[in-house]
Amino acid sequence: MAETQPDAVKLDGAGPVYDQIRRAIRDLVVSGAWPPGTGVPPEHALMEQLGASRMTVHRALVQLAREGLIVRRRRSGTIVASPPASHAMLDILSIPEEVEQLGQAYSYDVLARGDGRPAAEVAERFGLRRSDKVAHLLVLHRADGKPHVLEERVIHVAAVPGVAGEDFAKTPPGDWLLQHSLWSQAEHAISAVGAQAEEAGLLAIAVGEPCLLVERRTWNQDRPVTAVRLLYPGPRHRFVGRFGPYGQI
Amino acid sequence: MAETQPDAVKLDGAGPVYDQIRRAIRDLVVSGAWPPGTGVPPEHALMEQLGASRMTVHRALVQLAREGLIVRRRRSGTIVASPPASHAMLDILSIPEEVEQLGQAYSYDVLARGDGRPAAEVAERFGLRRSDKVAHLLVLHRADGKPHVLEERVIHVAAVPGVAGEDFAKTPPGDWLLQHSLWSQAEHAISAVGAQAEEAGLLAIAVGEPCLLVERRTWNQDRPVTAVRLLYPGPRHRFVGRFGPYGQI
DNA sequence: GCTATCTAATTGCATATGCAAATGGCAAGC
DNA sequence: GCTTGCCATTTGCATATGCAATTAGATAGC
């Protein structure tokens, strides 16, 4: 079964054995070598392969399961988990989901698309080199037909091969990227800005109206994947989070 | 040593033993029965007291340590951890720290204070009953002498006994509360609003200027502790977070 | 073919045991 | 008093063992 073991688990000899195992498997998962659904070898196999006791292997796997990287079921075995679609606190659901959770009808339009090298201003804002080929998109998402959020997105073509042949007619780019790209790190920033003239026109609000601006940049192993600027009009959008003194709850 | 064991660990018989132990101790910590610094009994003591093996006790304690609720050191033993001062993603540092991290000089003024029953509008906005006694504060925080953020806060007097005799002359209320109150749950919301006339005047910005509004409410065991409304002027404030596909990093 | 039953693979949990590592505090020596 | 070294306590780690719970897949029976 080559499929169940695309790469071998390799220990690095640093620190406790259970932690070496945990890190080794974690690295295989986050690097994409073991994509979601891949079967992790059963405890007995790892035990022999690594020369550790079952309890030690077990400890590593239990911890990975608690971290959400793998899913374990008796008899079926252990598989690599699918990353959760949303990230509590601040991360945003896919926008279609976000709108549907509000009980409104979702639709969207790709207003503009350009492929080529990024303009200096864009490259700067999104942390790209001017030599990187990018796709540049402007998308308006609607809830019950009314403007909901304006998305300006840059996609690094080299990091997402399929993007050149995709027109985003059926799936908005954010959701499409979730399925067609890999990412290992993201950063977002939230701020409040007034709508510029063009933005205000598209969102059907007054110029200068306060908007919540969410900027997110995504990398895969230090290589930029995509950067997006989401402009939510007015005080009718809120991002809510809950937590306790020792962390999220 | 009564101090090291203010309450006994009690198992509830539900689920795995190690998890019963984990939850029992967690509850003692988050309820405040074991405040930060309290000594947790050593593994051997818990082992005898609970009739479990050391490895089972160990498993519970290791997990609590990973969750950050306790701190363990060889020979010294295990103590209840102090909650971290800030909460990653979105939670805000104490405002003095926030300003100092920007390399600016911090100062603040208590602009107004009222003690009594909350007005209907305030009670509504902060989830209080009109019969609850509250302290109501308006505080302007400055960075290098310039307005940085406007804080409007309501404190539930019954939940924070010392508040009546405190004038917040030396410590702003947010920091003071961190030291003098207990909380088990918080919720915050972020949105963008335009500055109202009075707010704009205090912050020295134009009326309608976009502001980032952070609203946070805090409870202790379902009892409201405090609620705060932080108004950050303009696009010069950003909240930044980083994360990976499987959670925060 | 369909269903009920059984079997075996796999994870989950708890225990017992032994040794390693760190270190607070005591004792001995100066 | 001060320093040095030792010892006992406490946590950290790994192993071996045994049994329970779950369930995919095989088998037997209809």
- Which of B52, B80, B108 is the last residue before a domain boundary? B80
| pLDDT tens-digit map of B5-32 | 447 888 988 899 999 999 999 999 988 8
Residue by residue, DSSP assigns chain A as -GGG-SS-------S-HHHHHHHHHHHHHHTTSS-TTPEEPPHHHHHHHHT--HHHHHHHHHHHHHHTSEEEETTTEEEEPPPPS--TTTPPPPHHHHHHHTT--EEEEEEEEEEESPPHHHHHHHT--TTS-EEEEEEEEEETTEEEEEEEEEEEGGGSGGGGG---SSS-HHHHHHHH---SEEEEEEEEEEPPHHHHHHHTS-TT-EEEEEEEEEEETTEEEEEEEEEEESTT--EEEEEETTEE-
B245, A211: Cβ pair inside 8 Å? no
**Are B192 and A91 a contacting pair at CB < 8 A?**
no
Residue A187 domain flag: yes
The arithmetic mean of pLDDT across residues B205-215, rounded, is 92
Higher local confidence (pLDDT), B65 or A175? B65
A180 and A124 both lie in a single domain: yes
In a domain? residue B86:
no
> For position B27, which CATH number holds?
1.10.10.10
Whether residues B76 and B101 fall in one domain: no
Q: Give residues with Cβ within 8 angstroms of A197, minimum separation 6.
A: A207
Q: What is the mean pLDDT of residues A170-189?
A: 84
- A73 and A109 co-located in one domain: no
Q: Residue A86: pLDDT band by 50, 70, 90 thresholds?
A: very low
Out of A46, A80, A114, a domain closes at: A80
Q: How many CB atoms sit inside 10 A of residue A40's CB?
A: 25
How many residues are there in chain A? 249
Look at residue B2 and tell me whether its pLDDT is greater than 50: no
- The answer to whether residues A11 and A60 belong to one domain is yes
More confident residue, A163 or B187: A163
**Nearest protein residue to the C1' atom of C8, measured from CA:** A75
pLDDT in tens, A91-128: 456 788 878 878 899 999 999 999 988 888 888 876 77
Predicted confidence (pLDDT) at residue B144 exceeds the cutoff of 80: yes
Claim to verify: residue B72 and residue B119 sit in the same structural domain: no
**Are A69 and A126 within one domain?**
no
Split into its structural domains, chain A has a count of 2
CATH number at residue A178: 3.40.1410.10
Q: Are B143 and B100 in contact (CB under 8 A)?
A: no
Nucleotide nearest to A77 (CA to C1'): C10
Q: What does the pLDDT look like over A185-216, one tens digit per residue?
A: 888 788 899 999 999 999 999 999 999 998 88
Look at residues A45, A80, A115 and tell me which one is the last residue of a structural domain: A80
Least confident of A175-189, B108-122, B204-218, B235-249: B235-249
Residue in chain B nearest A68 by alpha carbon: B246
Element (H, E) at B216: strand B210-220
pLDDT for A182:
76
Residue B248: pLDDT band by 50, 70, 90 thresholds? low
Return the residue of A nearest to B220 by Cα. Answer: A244
- Asked if B48 and B99 sit in the same domain, the reply is no
Are B135 and B29 part of one and the same domain?
no
Q: How far is the C-alpha of A96 from the C-alpha of A141, rounded, in Å?
A: 8
Q: Which is it for the CA torsion B165, B171, B176, B179, positive or negative?
A: negative
User: Is B142 exposed, middle or buried, given 0-12, 13-18 or 19+ CB atoms closer than 10 A?
Assistant: middle
- What is the per-residue pLDDT for B26? 93
B127 with B48, same domain?
A: no
User: Which residue range forms the structural domain that includes residue A157?
Assistant: 95-233
Calculate the CA A140 to chain-centre distance: 20
Within a domain: residue B247?
no
User: CA-CA distance, B46 to B48, in Å (whole number)?
Assistant: 5
**What is the crossing angle of helices A43-50 and A54-67, to 10°?**
120
Q: Does the pLDDT at position A70 exceed 90?
A: yes
pLDDT attached to residue A214: 87
Is the CB of residue B145 less than 8 Å from the CB of residue B131?
no
**How does residue B245 score in pLDDT terms, banded at 50, 70 and 90?**
low
Do residues A151 and A229 touch, judged by C-beta distance below 8 A?
A: yes
* Total CB pairs under 8 A between chain A and B: 141
Residue B104 belongs to some domain of the structure: yes
Nearest Cα to B127, choosing from B10, B16, B228, B14? B228
Give chain B positions within 8 Å (CB) of A210.
Answer: 192-194, 208-211
Least reliable range by pLDDT among A36-50, A201-215, B82-96, B187-201: B82-96
Residue B58 domain-assigned (yes or no): yes
CA B8 → C1' C12, Å? 28
d(CA A94, CA B213): 24
Q: Quick check: is B85 in a domain?
A: no
What does the pLDDT read at residue A190? 83
- pLDDT for res A85: 54
Q: Quick check: is A88 in a domain?
A: no
The Å distance, CA of A47 to C1' of D7, is 38
- Considering the domain architecture, whether residues A108 and A220 belong to the same structural domain is answered as yes
**Across the beta sheet with A247-248, what order do the strands follow?**
A247-248, A239-244, B185-194, B210-220, B223-233, B146-156, B134-143, B106-116
Region at B190 (left for phi over 0; alpha for psi -120 to 50; beta for the rest): beta
Residue A202 lies in a domain: yes
Which whole number is the average pLDDT over B49-57? 96
Lookup: tokens for A109: 């339009």
- Name the average pLDDT for chain A: 86
Mean pLDDT of A232-240: 77
Q: Is B6 helix (H, G, I), strand (E, B) or coil?
A: coil
Please check whether strand C approaches the CB of B17 to within 7 Å.
Answer: yes
Question: Are residues A103 and A221 located together in one domain of the fold?
Answer: yes
Window A33-62, strand C contacts by Cβ < 7 Å: 40, 42-44, 54-55, 58, 61-62
pLDDT of residue A163: 92
B227 with B154, same domain: the answer is yes
Indicate the pLDDT class of residue B189, thresholds 50, 70 and 90: confident
- Taking contacts as CB-CB distances below 8 angstroms, the residues of chain B near A243 are 87, 91, 185-186
Residues of B in contact with A91 (CB under 8 A): 243
Q: What is the pLDDT of residue B93?
A: 60
Q: What are phi and psi of A193, to 5 degrees?
A: -140, 165
